[in-house]
């Protein structure tokens, strides 16, 4: 089997395309359970974030599997197939390994070195594992990706000053308002990205935090944990005139905040500036809001430019990280080579065990006068002989063959010992 990745990210597709491709969290399990049964898809992990939708798979026919997944995803999300095709990419083999490792190490992120993506990859893998969609290939792959990310974090300074979209949002707020000590913020949604945004705002000195969420219990829990105040979701728009910063990240299928709503709030606040940080995909804030005077609206695609000042330093550390990724790709190639030979090693062992047991049974039938202890001596002797005979071939098979020769080595062994004739 071979690894492959098919997907679309912030480099290949605009926000408008990505928000149509994004799989709602509550539907990810359904997507996995259904698509994992496609004829050529043998293992599958689905990663859906604000910046990427990627499907990691293992298949004996990766190109056919990728096409089936592409067709299924576009049908599942009810978008034209060509819309995905025009903005997607496909990797297989070493290219897939490199891409996945770079994603886990945040080398493929909008904001280089941000830490959130590794958690998202771990969540995607955990869900696929729980659903039963992974196997020995993807299990090894993702564990090695996490090991690589750990090396990058410990051996480079790419994350010494963590940068995420939430952090970038706080930086933008300071650029617009200067000192945040007298400012108030409304947080719409209680997810992880909003929780991180609150932390950064509080570190910047924000005076007051208001929290609203469609599920009031979630809003109450978040507000309590950050020392904020809960406001009713049904009329949160009335509070737009009371705050200076609005951070929103929900899974609403439509805009929660539109231009008339904001225009009314501006009149109540005498046109003093209002700053929206829209971290949602699909977006929560209608782009038309940005046309209003004294209103600043930033979405996830806008936030990448905020950290340009640190780009040079991050790029230096990224080069070190890329070198680590290269080393780990080489190591993982050895893992895959050993995995490719596992069925052959198993078949060889089973054939010799079957032969051994057959000869033991025949011998014991002729030696019926022997005691049980004598039987054990004969069985142990035969087993020891088989182990010694197989030791050198097994060691040789487990050693790394030349790159690309694994299939040839396996085929030779199977032919030499007629392993495919085992019933």
pLDDT tops 50 at residue 423? no
> Is the same domain home to 92 and 181?
no
Q: Does residue 317 contact residue 389 with C-beta atoms inside 8 Å? A: no
- Spot the catalytic one: 50, 105, 133, 356: 50
Instruction: Classify residue 347: in a domain, yes or no.
Output: yes
Hunting for tokens 């050993």 — which residue is that? 338
* Arithmetic mean of pLDDT, 375-396: 83
Angle between helices 406-416 and 311-366 (to 10 degrees): 0
Hunting for tokens 């014991």 — which residue is that? 364
As beta bridge partners, residue 323 has none
Angle between helices 192-203 and 216-226 (to 10 degrees): 30
pLDDT tops 70 at residue 334? yes
187, 194, 229 from 213: Cα distances, Å: 8, 11, 12
Neighbours of 134 (CB within 10 A): 25
* Arithmetic mean of pLDDT, 68-81: 93
> Is the same domain home to 50 and 147?
yes
Angle value at C-alpha 145, between 141 and 151, nearest 5 degrees: 145
> Is the same domain home to 44 and 173?
no
Hunting for tokens 């060691």 — which residue is that? 395
CA max distance for the chain: 107
How far apart are the C-alpha atoms of 94 and 296, rounded to whole Å? 43
Q: pTM of the prediction?
A: 0.64
Q: Assess whether 133 carries a catalytic annotation.
A: no
Instruction: Classify residue 250: in a domain, yes or no.
Output: yes
Q: Does residue 303 contact residue 165 with C-beta atoms inside 8 Å? A: yes
> Is the same domain home to 130 and 226?
no
> Is the same domain home to 151 and 14?
yes
Reading the block at residue 47, the tokens are 């990663």
Instruction: Classify residue 326: in a domain, yes or no.
Output: no
What is the tens place of the pLDDT at every residue in 141-182? 999 999 999 999 999 988 776 566 777 788 788 888 888 988
> Is the same domain home to 40 and 127?
yes
H or E element, residue 66: helix 62-76
Q: Which of 278, 301, 324 is the last residue of a domain?
A: 301
Instruction: Classify residue 306: in a domain, yes or no.
Output: no
- State the residue range of the domain holding 270: 165-301
> Is the same domain home to 280 and 364?
no
Domain with residue 235: its CATH number is: 3.40.50.720
Of the listed ranges 23-32, 107-116, 235-244, 291-300, the least confidently predicted one is 107-116
How far apart are the C-alpha atoms of 386 and 139, rounded to whole Å? 32
**By percentage, how much of the chain surpasses pLDDT 90?**
56
Instruction: Classify residue 19: in a domain, yes or no.
Output: yes
> Is the same domain home to 147 and 183?
no
What is the tens place of the pLDDT at every residue in 183-205? 999 999 998 889 988 988 998 89
108, 161, 295, 309, 357 from 167: Cα distances, Å: 18, 10, 20, 14, 66
Radius of gyration of the chain (CA): 29
> Is the same domain home to 232 and 252?
yes
> Is the same domain home to 149 and 190?
no
Instruction: Please tell me whether the peptide bond between 116 and the residue prior to it is cis, using omega within 30 degrees of 0.
Output: no
Would you give the DSSP letter of residue 271? T
Q: Are strands 274-278 and 245-248 parallel, antiparallel or unpaired?
A: parallel
pLDDT tops 90 at residue 232? yes
Instruction: Classify residue 390: in a domain, yes or no.
Output: yes
Secondary structure E strands in 249-332: 274-278, 295-299
What is the tens place of the pLDDT at every residue in 40-61? 999 999 999 989 999 999 998 9
Q: Edge-to-edge strand order for the sheet containing 43-48?
A: 43-48, 52-59, 2-9, 89-92
* Arithmetic mean of pLDDT, 323-347: 82
H or E element, residue 416: helix 406-416
* Arithmetic mean of pLDDT, 271-296: 92
> Is the same domain home to 186 and 223?
yes
- What domain count does the chain have? 3
Residue 78 CA, chain-centre distance (Å), reads 23
Closest CA to 110 of 153, 51, 169, 157: 51
Q: Does residue 125 contact residue 43 with C-beta atoms inside 8 Å? A: no
Domain with residue 67: its CATH number is: 3.30.460.30
Cβ partners under 8 Å of residue 343, min gap 6: 410
Residue 8: strand, helix, or coil: strand
Q: Does residue 360 contact residue 378 with C-beta atoms inside 8 Å? A: yes
Reading the block at residue 209, the tokens are 């935090």
How far apart are the C-alpha atoms of 295 and 300, rounded to whole Å? 17
């Amino acid at each position: 089997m071979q690894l492959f990745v098919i997907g679309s990210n912030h480099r290949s597709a605009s926000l408008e395309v990505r928000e149509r491709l994004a799989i709602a969290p509550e539907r990810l399990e359904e997507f996995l359970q259904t698509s994992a049964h496609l004829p050529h898809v043998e293992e599958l992990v689905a990663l859906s974030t604000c910046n990427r939708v990627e499907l990691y798979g293992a298949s004996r026919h990766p190109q056919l599997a990728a096409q089936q997944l592409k067709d299924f995803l576009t049908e599942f999300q009810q978008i034209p197939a060509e819309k995905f095709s025009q903005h997607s990419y496909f990797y297989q083999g070493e290219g897939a390994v490199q891409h996945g490792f770079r994603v886990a190490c945040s080398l493929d992120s909008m904001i280089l070195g941000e830490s959130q993506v590794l958690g998202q990859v771990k969540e995607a893998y955990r869900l696929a594992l729980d659903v039963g969609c992974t196997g020995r290939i993807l299990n090894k792959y993702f564990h090695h990706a996490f090991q690589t990310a750990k090396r990058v974090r410990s051996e480079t300074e790419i994350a010494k000053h963590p940068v995420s979209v939430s952090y970038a949002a706080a930086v933008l707020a300071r650029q617009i308002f200067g000192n945040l000590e007298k400012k108030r913020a409304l947080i719409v949604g209680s997810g992880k990205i909003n929780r991180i945004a609150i932390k950064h705002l509080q570190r910047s000195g924000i005076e007051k935090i208001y929290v609203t969420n469609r599920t009031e219990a979630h809003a109450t829990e978040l507000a309590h944990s950050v020392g904020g105040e809960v406001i009713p979701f049904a009329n949160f728009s009335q509070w737009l005139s009371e705050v200076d910063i609005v951070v929103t990240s929900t899974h609403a299928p439509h805009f929660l905040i539109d231009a008339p709503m904001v225009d009314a709030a501006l009149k109540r606040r005498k046109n003093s500036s209002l700053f929206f940080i829209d971290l949602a995909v699909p977006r929560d804030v209608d782009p038309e809001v940005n046309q209003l005077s004294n209103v600043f609206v930033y979405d996830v695609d806008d936030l990448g430019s905020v950290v340009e000042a640190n780009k040079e330093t991050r790029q230096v550390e990224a080069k070190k990280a890329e070198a680590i990724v290269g080393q780990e790709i080489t190591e993982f190639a050895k893992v895959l080579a050993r995995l490719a030979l596992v069925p052959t090693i198993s078949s060889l062992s089973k054939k010799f065990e079957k032969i051994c047991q057959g000869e033991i049974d025949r011998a014991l039938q002729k030696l019926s006068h022997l005691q049980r202890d004598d039987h054990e001596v004969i069985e142990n002797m035969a087993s020891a002989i088989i182990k010694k005979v197989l030791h050198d071939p097994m060691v040789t098979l487990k050693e790394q063959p030349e790159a690309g020769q694994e299939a040839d080595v396996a085929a030779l062994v199977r032919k030499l010992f007629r392993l495919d004739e085992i019933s």
